[in-house]
Amino acid sequence: MTVASQNPIASGLSALANPTRFLNLVRVVAWPLSLITLALFVVGLWMAFSVPDDYQQGRTVRIMFVHVPAVWLAMASYMVMVSGALGVLVWRHPLADVAARCAAPFGAAFTLIGLITGSIWGRPMWGTWWVWDARLTSFLILLIIYLGLMALWKAIEEPAVAARLSAVFVLVGALIIPIIKFSVDWFTTLHQSASVLKAGGPSLAPEFLYPLLVMALAFLFLFTTLHLMAMRNEILRRQIRSLQRRVVREARGI
Amino acid sequence: MSELLSGKYTGFISSAYAATFLILAIMIAWVWLVSRSRKAELAKLEADGLRRAGSKT
């Protein structure tokens, strides 16, 4: 079976419900996506180190080019989990649980990058590594939610139960996303308010905005590539399990 | 790049980038290593399965 012969794009998401078709799709897109990701990182990093110093933050403004994309992807990963959770609960899409489950470790990693780089940026700019204000605390809670969900998926042996229970927790945990986003507007925090994703367009100067967008695109492509490959790994794990069960059944039958 | 290696905040900037790329590298290595081991395991099982099926016929 080939991707072209089944035309998965034409038949939409339902065409990808077949794991074999999905594995074929991953095989086709993995290398192009990896090369695009690499090219975006090369261009993004070159742009990041070509920018002039910021008039307030000096050279440390360069930390923004890894901190902000990581934070965006930390929240985007959660939205992938939310759509996966809806896929499990509403449409019962066979790959929805795989998609949600596989986004969690990357979301946790991006959240960790956001926390570490934010802390390193905070020391010279705010004079402190950490402060328990609304933005920083809500983002730490996001990391804890990710780790909790990963533990939940691992803890429940029965895949169907794990999928549905985790999906409910993913949707409940989604409350943290608007809290993170608007924490800088609702509360008094050390963290600055939004300067790119806000009403009225970005207020960031173009020489900083363009490298930031290229780096964000690089992070997005990296996430997409790794997420698809992790989904493939998870499908293979399930295939291995069913093969092992068949071997056991056949051994007992003999 | 020379700007990164000189100046007052070099340590902060380079450690932020180092931490980022270390975590990204761990993510990539993890996916790649799992992929390799799964494929090897599946190939072994399929080989066993084929032998099993072959012995029955």
Please give the pLDDT value at position A110: 98
Closest residue of chain A to B46, computed from CA coordinates:
A243
In three-state secondary structure terms, A54 is strand
B12 contacts in chain A (CB < 8 Å):
60, 63, 120-121, 123-124
Residue-averaged pLDDT of chain A: 88
A72 touches chain B (CB under 8 A): no
- The answer, yes or no, to whether residue A178 has pLDDT greater than 60, is yes
Evaluate if residue A208 carries a pLDDT over 80: yes
How far is the CA of A205 from the CAs of A55, A70, B17, in angstroms? 12, 20, 22
Q: Is the ipTM, as predicted for this complex, more than 0.95?
A: no
The three-state DSSP-derived secondary structure of chain A is CCHHHHCCCCCHHHHCCCHHHHHHHHHHHHHHHHHHHHHHHHHHHHHHCCCCCECCCEHHHHHHHHHHHHHHHHHHHHHHHHHHHHHHHHHCCCCHHHHHHHHHHHHHHHHHHHHHHHHHHHHHHHCCCCCCCHHHHHHHHHHHHHHHHHHHHHHCCCHHHHHHHHHHHHHHHCCHHHHHHHHHHHCCCCCCCCCCCCCCCCCCCHHHHHHHHHHHHHHHHHHHHHHHHHHHHHHHHHHHHHHHHHHHHHHHHC
Q: How far is A243 from chain B (nearest CA, A)?
A: 7
The answer to whether A212 and A220 are in contact (CB under 8 A) is no
pLDDT of residue B50: 52
- Round to whole Å and give the CA distance between A180 and A194: 11
CA distance A64 to chain B (A): 10
Query: For residues A170 and A148, is the Cβ–Cβ distance under 8 A?
Result: no
Is B54 within 8 Å of chain A by CB? Answer: no
Name the band, by pLDDT with cuts 50, 70 and 90, for residue A114: very high
d(C-alpha A177, C-alpha A174), whole Å = 6
**A14 or A52, which is more confident:** A52
**Contact yes or no for A63 and B13 at CB 8 A:** yes
Q: Whole-number mean pLDDT of chain B?
A: 80
Q: What pLDDT shows up at residue A72?
A: 96
**B4 lies within 8 A of chain A by CB:** yes
Is pLDDT above 90 for A30? yes
The pLDDT confidence band at residue A186, using thresholds 50, 70 and 90, is confident
Cβ-based contacts of B1 with chain A (< 8 Å): 49
User: Where is average pLDDT lowest: A149-163, A239-253, B7-21, B27-41?
Assistant: A239-253
CA dist., res. A133 & res. A188, Å (int): 8
pLDDT tens digit sequence for B3-26: 444 567 889 999 999 999 999 999
Listed in sequence order, the residues at least 6 apart from A120 whose beta carbon sits closer than 8 Å to its beta carbon are A63, A129, B12, B15, B16, B19
Cβ-based neighbours of A221, under 8 Å, separated by 6 or more: A33, A36, A37, A40
DSSP state of A90: I
Identify the pLDDT of residue B57. Answer: 36
For residue A130, which of A145, A147, A115 has the smallest C-alpha distance? A115
Identify the burial level of A1 via C-beta atoms within 10 angstroms of its C-beta, where 0-12 means exposed, 13-18 middle and 19 or more buried: exposed
Touching check for A59 and chain B: CB below 8 Å?
yes
Separation of alpha carbons A169 and A184, rounded Å: 25
A59-88 per-position pLDDT tens digit:
888 999 999 999 999 999 999 999 999 999
Which B residues in the span 14-33 are in contact with A, Cβ-Cβ below 8 Å? Answer: 15-17, 19-20, 23-24, 26-28, 30-32
Rounded Cα distance, A217 and A211, in Å? 10
Backbone angles phi and psi of A132, in degrees to 5: -85, 60
- Cα dihedral sign, B32-A2-A223-A91: negative
Does position A135 have pLDDT exceeding 70, yes or no?
yes
- What mean pLDDT do residues A224-253 have? 88
B37 near A CB under 8 A? no
**A122 chain-B contacts, CB cut-off 8 A:** none
**pLDDT band at residue A246, thresholds of 50, 70 and 90?**
confident
Size of interface A-B (CB pairs under 8 A): 93
Looking at the complex, does the CB of residue A135 fall below 8 Å from at least one CB of chain B? no
Question: Of A96, A102, A97, which is closest to residue A77 (Cα–Cα)?
Answer: A102
By C-alpha distance, the chain B residue nearest A69 is B20
Half-sphere exposure of A3 (CA within 13 A, CB side): 12
User: B42: which chain A residues are within 8 Å (Cβ-Cβ)?
Assistant: 236, 239-240, 243
